[in-house]
Structure 1
């Protein structure tokens, strides 16, 4: 089974992804035989030759506009991801008990429950997904493992190719009354 190097979908479904033009270029460069099977030149040329020149130019402009819109949308989403940051908050519960709250993971398209389970097994603590007051998902980890969580997230992001995203460790303390 071959998967696209750009959108990670099978090449037959690349047209439904966000970067069809780049996917098509990648397929032509890496798998020319499959490219010929999916995008046969003969059938397209025969269908296009029967159109009038004005109609053909109009179709080309529409396709170019749609491709440009899709590419711009993908670039905006990537810029939004790269400008974001992940907060790792260390919150004091009692005098010597702490919890760690990881917020901002929804921007990197990670499954929160799987990540919570990874934290729980990796740090041998309890971890769960909860809703923040703003309505966003965040992971709550029992124990004082803030530095380890930060190191793990930095390593995970660099492995995923998102090393530009900042991971920030913040300490919240209860205020004395």
Structure 2
């Protein structure tokens, strides 16, 4: 006689409600990590190892709290300055503070149509909607504010105005220094000035 099959039991994450083995593909993986380490360590052994290493580092850091150049938390004063400049995200990822810069890029569509893309004007306090109107009037073409691939807003100007736009930005907005304007050519950022 054949053995009777049992239904498969699926463990669902309490945070994102996906099956536990699919949490890494969900939108809240960073929030799911503590729950996964506690309830499904066999699915993510790398997470468990990373967490145990982090706990060991914290214990070692607290034990060495005395000595020259050390503060009460166990870190040296030079390490404390690094923490102010670099932001640490959950999961150990490091996010560096972005320096304000304007990047101008030309994209060719359908082998002959060009779109000039301007990114980063908003970092200098410039309203992108006003800037797109000025670009449209100056170059007599369509200009609009759109979301780029990184969900940051950028200005798309229809036509090949890459070098003219650099000059126009420098003339129109005096708070944008020429040293912070870059042109993207062949995937490389080249200073425009």
TM-score when normalising by structure 2: 0.43
User: Greater RCO between the two (CA within 8 Å, min separation 6)?
Assistant: 1
Structure whose CA Rg is larger: 2
TM-score when normalising by structure 1: 0.47
